[in-house]
Structure 1
Amino acid sequence: MRPKERRDSGQADLLRSRLDAIIDMNHALVKLSRTIDWSFLAERFGAVYEDKPGRPPLPTRLMAGLAILKHTYDLSDEVLCERWVENPYYQFFCGEEFFQHRLVFDRSSLTRWRQRMGEEKLQALLQESLSVATKTKAIKPSDLNRVIVDTTVQPKNVMFPTDARLLNRAREILVRLAKGACIKLRQSYGRIGKFALIKHQRYAHAKQFKRANRALRTLRTYLGRVIRDIGRKLEGNVDLLHQIALDRMLILARRVLDQKQHQRGPKVYSLHAPEVECIGKGKAHRPYELMAWTTPAPSGNVESGGATAGA
């Protein structure tokens, strides 16, 4: 059943005063409620419901208004419900004609409404907010032609190019992808690979570097065996989706396997963010920084800046 939308009846009550008679009609929320196209939101959100018997849903203006208030003032569901009962401007914004002393909805209705609408339908709120901002001249239409993204700090979980954890992580990801593609490996090295990583960390902590390098070579051997085993069994044995994921990961794993400490050219510092690069900044306190560059959108309407990535 579709929601029964509210309409301003204009009728008075003998025992109660109308909200528009006791509040300031020049308030920001009152002006905003008059600017928003509630019929557009009702049409977009109403398409989710089906004409079936049952209890009618809550009005779209009530739920959409609550969602706008929640994100505008950065409130939790509990605080939003408390302020809605106390604030007549909140109630007028959500379509009430008379002041309500109790909630006309349940708090859990907010969560269920968001889940029912989904992200795609909630984009209508963003679309309507941009429309209102344009009508009120808060922004110009020319400001929407280009989006400039410039970030200065973006933490990344990066590792040293020859780190033992990077080798072990590459092997674990390959084994997991192979299992998802139903590829039976000769050996996954899950248990002994973990022990080899622990050995390397303990030897390095104790400054026993010969033994640590021996454990590092063992991890490198395990990764190379898994790469070759998957490469032999990959062609024509899995579907296209799994093959694309495995091919991409095999390329990264081979780069991790072959890269050296002092080699020139790009290195892999993180498997989940292979775009991270190391550049020299010339700073005395930090000679090198890791930068992740965002790829521009295909339409060419997005300009992006670099983001510093820290270990």
Structure 2
Amino acid sequence: MYRKEEQPLPPPEKFELPFEGKLSPNNRWVIMAELIPWDDFEEEYAKLFSAEKGAPAKLFRMALGTLIIKEKLGTSDRETIEKIRENPYLQYFIGLNCYQQEPPLESSMLVHFRKRIDGELINKINKKIVKREIDKSDKEVKKKDCLQEKREKIKNKGKLILDATCAPADIKYPTDLGILNQARIETERIIDNLYKPLRVKLRKKPRTSRKIARKEYLKVAKKRKVSYQERRKAIGKQLKYLKKIEEI
């Protein structure tokens, strides 16, 4: 579907710029400008010119920045200058303080820039960028290591108060006597379930001595301290009751 815009476009001077007229710090040219050590090679570049004679030369950032833009975009000298004139990010990259509509330099200046900024200087700049990024990375690693060491050196302090009011209270420590008692109860339950449909045929329900067995179990289970002989005797009785149920 295609719809024609009914409202006329505003004139160029009223065209609204994003970011409230400010450059975005996430733009690739802004990020690249922060990586390049312009000031570190300004003095070396200045030695190529006379201190008293001749017209003032273009700054090192403008010279190197223009060459980088040309290589990055793959444009001709004239097209490169036109790109810089149209793009505020490129103007910031070459060191201008504010956007200007006029070209900041002539395309013929790129010939002189290429003569003065040779491959040796470019290699120095690249090495400087790499070294600075490595140093920056090392500092971040050391900072993380220091923080880790500080955390490890911190000793335990204060008191830890635990509230066990919400802890489950029905957890039992498994013992032979308790397991046998539980097995007896489950066996009796199975007998009860089997007896229900056979109630008409079997007039008398099989005896399991469950009351006596439970009484014998509680006699030992309720004691705080149980001797070895008492425990073995109680286990023997529970086994006897289980065996009696099996014989039914």
Higher share in strand? 1
Higher share in helix? 2
The answer to whether TM tops 0.5 is no
Bigger relative contact order, structure 1 or 2 (CA pairs below 8 A, ≥6 apart): 1
TM-score range, shorter chain: 0.3 to 0.5
Structure label with greater radius of gyration: 2
- Give the alignment's TM-score, normalised by structure 2: 0.42
